[in-house]
C-alpha cells in the first residue's frame, strides 16, 4: 500500500522535494481502502470522461497524463474499474497508437519504468527495437560512394526498420505487474480505432508535413490522405484495420505479430516496400521473420542517482536517458542551485548538460554489445572531476571533449573540444500513470521520426518505425563509436522515463518526447521542481533551453537570455522543446497530474476523482 504525506494547501509554495518526508501509518491505509471501495464500485455512468485537453488535474483514485484526451480517458477508465497503473499505461499507450499514430504504435518501441507500490522496487522493460541479424556497421554507407546515405533517404525506407518492441513490452508489463489480460487492456483502444476520434490541428499539421512521402505508399495514403489530402479538423477519423489488428493481438497474443501471418506481412513490407506506381528509390530492408521471432523485451535494472536526498531512477542503456540525466544531476549537486540567482542556476544547468552529453556521445550504446562504463559515468568522483571544469563567470567553448570515466579522479580533467552529437528523430510520446496502491509508471514510446518510415503495413493500420536511423551512419570517433549498427543491436536512444523516490516512497514521475532534447527537458523539469521552487505544473510549463554539447543553445521564446549571453552563451531560437507529462504524488491518496498547456497542441491530464474546484 501507498504511504502518504500531508497535502499542500491550494496555492501554497511547493516544498522542495528534497526536504519532504513521508510517514507510513494506519490513517494512510484507511484513506486508500476507502478510495478502493468508492472508486472500484463506480457505476458506468460515473466513469471519468475527458472531453477537452486539460493540462493540470488534482484529485484521488489514480492519475493519468498523456498528450491526448482519448488516451487519458481510456487510462482513467481502467483505473476507475479497479485496474492498476500498469494496466492503465498499456491501455493508454494502445490508444495513443490510434490517436497519435505518427509518434507511437505497435510498429515501434520504447522504455517502460515502473515502481511497484507493494515492494517499492523500481524496474524497467527494454522495449527498444533491434537491428536485423544481417545488419552490419556499414549498413547506412553507400557502397558506390563510400559516404553515408542521405538521412531523409534512409528514414523513408525498409532499411530503417527495426524489430518492433512495443507489443512485447505490453505483454511483459501485464504479465509481470498487471491485473488485466492483453485483450482487456486493448479494448478501449480498439473501440476508439473502430468508432473514431475527432481530428485536431496537431493531427492535421503532422499529416500535412508528411503528405509528400505518405503519398508514395498506397496503404499510407489510403489511411491518412483520404481524397488525396489530410482529414479536416473536426472530422472523425477511424482506423478499422488497426482495430482488427488489436483484436487479433487480444485473441492470439503478441506472438501473432512476432511469429504469425502478421510477422510475414511486416517482413514483406520491409523487404519490398509497397510503393505507388512510378515511385523509385525506396531502399529495401534487411528484416527477416527470424528476427521477429527472436525478439525479447528484457527486464533491466534502472539507473539511479542520489540528488538532494532523492533517488532518481531512469532507463539504462541502450537508452542514454538515465545515464545522461543522472550524470548531469551529479554535476549539479556539487552546487546549491537553490541559493543561486536565475542566471547562475541556468548557467550551471546548461554547462552540466553539455558535459554529460559529451560523455554520452562517446561512451553510451547497447550495453549488450559494447562496454558502457555506466557505474563510472554515474559516480560522484567522475561528476566532481567534470563539475570542476564549470566556470561560474564564463561559458565553456563547445563542443566539449568527453571525460575519462576510469575511476582515477584527480584534478579537473580536460576542457578540450570534441565532436557533436549524432542526428536523432524528435517524434515520440510519453505517458505517466499512478494508482491508489502506490504503483507508478513512466513510459516513453516512439516510432522515431514523425510518421516513422512512412509505410503502413497494408491492411493492418499501423506505421513502421525508422528507429535504426538512431545508429551512427559512419564512425566519426576513430573506431570507438559505441553506436554503430550491428546484428541484433539496439540503437542508442535518448528516451528518459524517470521516477523520483524519497525514503522508498514515490513522489514524482516525468518524461517527454523530443529526440535528444528529451534528456534536457527531463533534466530542466527536475531542476525547476527540486531546486527552483516551482510546482510540477510550473516546472513543465516554464520556457526551455537545450544544450547538447553544441556551439549554441537551442531556446524557446521566453527563455531568459540576457544574463546568460553576458557569460558567453549563444542561442538559436526554436518554437518548442519537448512535450512533457508527469505526476506528483501529493500524499493522502492525492495526485497532481500534469501535461503541457501549449506545446504540441497541449496535453491531457486527469484523475479518477477530481478535487472540487481543481
Q: Residue 198 in 3-state DSSP?
A: strand
Residue 428: active-site member:
yes
Is 496 within 8 Å of 418 (Cβ atoms)?
Answer: no
For residue 366, give the nearest of 493, 516, 519, 466 by alpha carbon. Answer: 493
Distance separating alpha carbons of residues 310 and 546, to the nearest angstrom: 24
Is 339 within 8 Å of 519 (Cβ atoms)?
Answer: no
Per-residue DSSP letters for 373-396?
Answer: -HHHHT-HHHHHHHHTT-BTTBPP
Q: In whole angstroms, how far apart are CA 307 and each of 374, 517, 584?
A: 17, 21, 17
Name the helix (H) or strand (E) containing 541. Answer: helix 536-541
CB 398: neighbour CB atoms within 10 A? 23
Distance separating alpha carbons of residues 353 and 337, to the nearest angstrom: 15
For residue 366, give the nearest of 259, 467, 514, 497 by alpha carbon. Answer: 467
Euclidean distance between the first and the last CA atom of the chain, given in angstroms as a whole number? 25
User: One of 207, 220, 269, 428 is an active-site residue; which one?
Assistant: 428
Cα dihedral sign, 448-449-455-456: positive
Name the helix (H) or strand (E) containing 432. Answer: strand 427-435
Quote the DSSP letter at residue 465. P
Residue 578: all three cell numbers together: 519537448
Q: In whole angstroms, how far apart are CA 438 and each of 1, 38, 116, 336, 337?
A: 6, 17, 7, 31, 30
Is 352 within 8 Å of 376 (Cβ atoms)?
Answer: no
Half-sphere exposure of residue 261, counting CA atoms within 13 Å on the CB side? 7
* Residue numbers annotated as active site: 428
Amino acid at each position: 500500500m501507498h504511504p502518504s504525506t500531508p497535502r499542500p494547501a491550494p496555492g501554497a509554495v511547493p516544498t522542495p522535494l528534497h526536504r519532504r518526508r513521508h510517514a507510513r501509518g494506519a490513517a494512510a491505509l484507511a484513506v486508500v481502502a476507502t478510495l478502493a471501495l468508492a472508486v472500484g464500485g463506480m457505476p458506468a455512468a460515473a466513469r471519468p470522461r475527458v472531453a477537452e485537453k486539460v493540462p493540470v488535474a488534482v484529485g484521488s483514485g489514480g492519475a493519468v497524463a498523456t498528450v491526448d484526451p482519448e488516451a487519458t480517458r481510456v487510462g482513467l477508465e481502467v483505473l476507475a474499474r479497479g485496474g492498476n497503473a500498469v494496466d492503465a499505461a498499456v491501455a493508454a499507450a494502445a490508444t495513443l497508437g490510434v490517436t497519435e499514430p505518427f509518434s507511437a504504435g505497435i510498429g515501434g518501441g520504447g522504455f517502460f519504468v515502473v515502481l511497484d507500490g507493494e515492494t517499492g522496487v523500481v524496474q524497467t522493460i527494454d522495449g527498444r527495437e533491434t537491428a536485423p541479424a544481417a545488419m552490419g556497421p556499414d549498413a547506412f554507407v553507400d557502397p558506390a560512394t563510400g559516404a553515408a546515405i542521405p538521412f531523409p533517404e534512409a528514414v523513408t525506407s525498409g532499411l530503417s526498420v527495426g524489430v518492433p518492441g512495443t507489443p512485447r513490452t505490453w505483454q511483459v508489463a501485464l504479465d509481470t505487474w498487471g491485473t488485466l489480460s492483453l485483450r482487456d487492456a486493448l479494448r478501449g483502444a480498439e473501440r476508439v480505432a473502430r468508432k473514431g476520434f475527432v481530428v485536431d490541428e496537431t493531427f492535421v499539421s503532422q499529416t500535412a508535413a508528411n503528405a509528400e512521402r505518405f503519398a508514395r505508399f498506397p496503404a499510407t495514403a489510403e489511411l491518412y490522405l483520404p481524397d488525396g489530402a489530410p482529414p479536416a479538423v473536426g472530422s472523425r477519423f477511424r482506423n478499422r484495420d488497426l482495430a482488427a489488428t488489436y483484436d487479433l493481438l487480444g485473441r492470439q497474443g503478441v506472438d501473432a505479430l512476432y511469429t504469425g501471418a502478421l510477422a510475414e506481412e511486416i517482413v514483406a513490407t520491409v523487404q519490398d516496400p509497397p510503393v505507388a506506381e512510378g515511385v523509385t528509390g525506396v531502399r529495401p530492408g534487411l528484416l527477416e521473420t527470424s528476427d521477429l521471432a527472436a525478439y525479447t523485451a528484457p527486464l533491466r535494472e534502472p539507473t539511479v542517482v542520489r540528488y538532494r536526498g532523492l533517488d532518481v531512477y531512469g532507463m539504462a542503456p541502450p537508452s542514454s536517458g538515465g545515464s545522461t540525466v543522472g550524470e548531469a544531476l551529479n554535476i549539479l549537486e556539487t552546487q546549491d542551485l537553490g541559493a543561486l540567482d536565475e542566471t547562475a542556476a541556468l548557467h550551471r544547468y546548461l554547462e552540466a548538460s553539455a558535459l554529460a552529453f559529451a560523455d554520452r556521445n562517446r561512451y553510451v550504446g547497447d550495453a549488450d554489445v559494447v562496454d558502457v562504463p555506466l557505474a563510472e559515468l554515474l559516480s560522484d568522483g567522475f561528476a566532481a572531476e567534470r563539475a570542476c571544469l564549470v566556470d561560474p563567470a564564463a561559458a565553456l567553448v563547445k563542443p566539449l571533449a568527453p571525460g575519462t570515466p576510469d575511476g582515477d579522479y584527480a584534478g579537473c580533467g580536460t576542457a578540450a573540444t570534441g565532436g557533436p552529437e549524432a542526428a536523432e528523430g524528435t517524434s515520440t510520446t510519453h505517458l505517466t500513470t499512478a494508482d491508489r496502491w502506490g504503483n507508478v509508471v513512466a513510459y516513453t514510446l516512439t516510432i522515431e521520426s514523425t510518421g516513422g518510415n512512412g509505410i503502413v503495413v497494408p491492411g493492418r493500420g499501423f506505421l513502421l518505425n525508422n528507429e535504426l536511423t538512431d545508429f551512427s551512419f559512419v564512425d566519426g570517433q576513430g573506431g570507438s563509436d559505441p553506436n554503430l549498427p550491428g546484428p541484433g543491436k539496439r540503437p542508442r536512444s535518448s528516451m528518459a522515463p524517470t521516477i523520483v523516490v524519497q525514503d522508498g516512497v514515490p513522489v514524482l514521475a516525468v518524461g517527454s518526447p523530443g529526440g535528444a532534447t528529451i534528456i534536457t527537458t527531463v533534466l530542466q523539469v527536475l531542476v525547476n521542481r527540486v531546486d527552483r521552487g516551482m510546482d510540477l505544473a510550473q516546472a513543465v510549463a516554464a520556457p526551455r533551453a537545450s544544450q547538447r554539447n553544441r556551439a549554441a543553445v537551442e531556446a524557446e521564446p521566453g527563455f531568459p537570455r540576457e544574463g546568460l549571453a553576458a557569460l558567453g552563451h549563444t542561442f538559436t531560437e526554436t518554437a518548442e522543446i519537448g512535450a512533457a507529462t508527469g505526476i506528483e504524488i501529493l500524499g493522502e491518496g492525492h495526485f497532481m497530474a500534469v501535461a503541457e498547456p501549449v506545446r504540441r497542441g497541449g496535453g491531457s491530464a486527469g484523475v479518477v476523482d477530481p478535487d472540487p474546484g481543481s
